A and B are shown apart, each in its own frame.
Chain A
Amino acid sequence: QQPVQSPQAVILREGEDAVINCSSSKALYSVHWYRQKHGEAPVFLMILLKGGEQKGHEKISASFNEKKQQSSLYLTASQLSYSGTYFCGTEIMDSGYSTLTFGKGTMLLVSP
């Protein structure tokens, strides 16, 4: 039940926008987004819960379409520091407790 992320990789120039998608075949309770830089730990960005939408950072926001079991991460006016691999982690409805299944990641490279 690994969620599918798209695209696999994105190359941007500083200031451009990007959208990263995450879709699941299972009904979702929540979607979590993380960014990981090479050789470092994943860093929590935001969580989107069923029935709500939460913005974690000023120029990074996300949506959660419960009916389509999809989430999208929006990066606007990208900065060099946005480079890294973005992972979505999904929590399914019937687990009874919180465990996450992560997608394979989307690599984002922002160049000057």
Chain B
Amino acid sequence: NAGVMQNPRHLVRRRGQEARLRCSPMKGHSHVYWYRQLPEEGLKFMVYLQKENIIDESGMPKERFSAEFPKEGPSILRIQQVVRGDSAAYFCASSPVNEQFFGPGTRLTVL
């Protein structure tokens, strides 16, 4: 059973471009969570999704950020018009019920 997969592992964008991060949950997991981690800091919750539904997006910035988890395919975290402050590691986690299992993360660098 493959673990949580994320791609790309590293993403470099210039200010103003769009960043698209993908997350494929573990087989059988219907819950997906996105977190942002800044250097030397903890994981900050961004959004919780189930298939075709956003359950909790209280941690998402109101502008430029969006997330989806379609019926088919991976979950996508989209950041429009990136700024330098968006540089961070973005982790997704999937869960069958309680435990959350993390993917390897996408390290976004905004130049």
| A98 partner residues in chain B, CB cutoff 8 A | 31, 95, 97-98
Cα distance, A47 to B45, chains bound together (Å): 18
Q: Interface size class for chain A?
A: 20 to 34
In the complex, are the beta carbons of A42 and B31 less than 8 A apart?
no
In the complex, are the beta carbons of A97 and B55 less than 8 A apart?
yes
In the complex, are the beta carbons of A104 and B45 less than 8 A apart?
no
In the assembled complex, B41 has its CB within 8 A of some CB on chain A:
yes
Asked, given contacts A30-B98, A32-B99, A98-B98, whether A41 binds B55 with beta carbons under 8 Å apart, the answer is no
**How many residues of chain B are within 8 Å of chain A by beta carbon?**
22
Identify the interface centre among A34, A40, A98: most chain B CB within 10 Å of its CB.
A98
Write 23 A-B pairs (CB below 8 A) sorted by A numbering: A32-B99, A40-B104, A41-B91, A41-B105, A42-B43, A42-B91, A42-B102, A43-B102, A44-B101, A47-B98, A49-B98, A87-B43, A97-B55, A98-B95, A99-B33, A99-B56, A100-B45, A102-B35, A102-B43, A102-B44, A102-B45, A104-B41, A105-B42
In the complex, are the beta carbons of A103 and B55 less than 8 A apart?
no
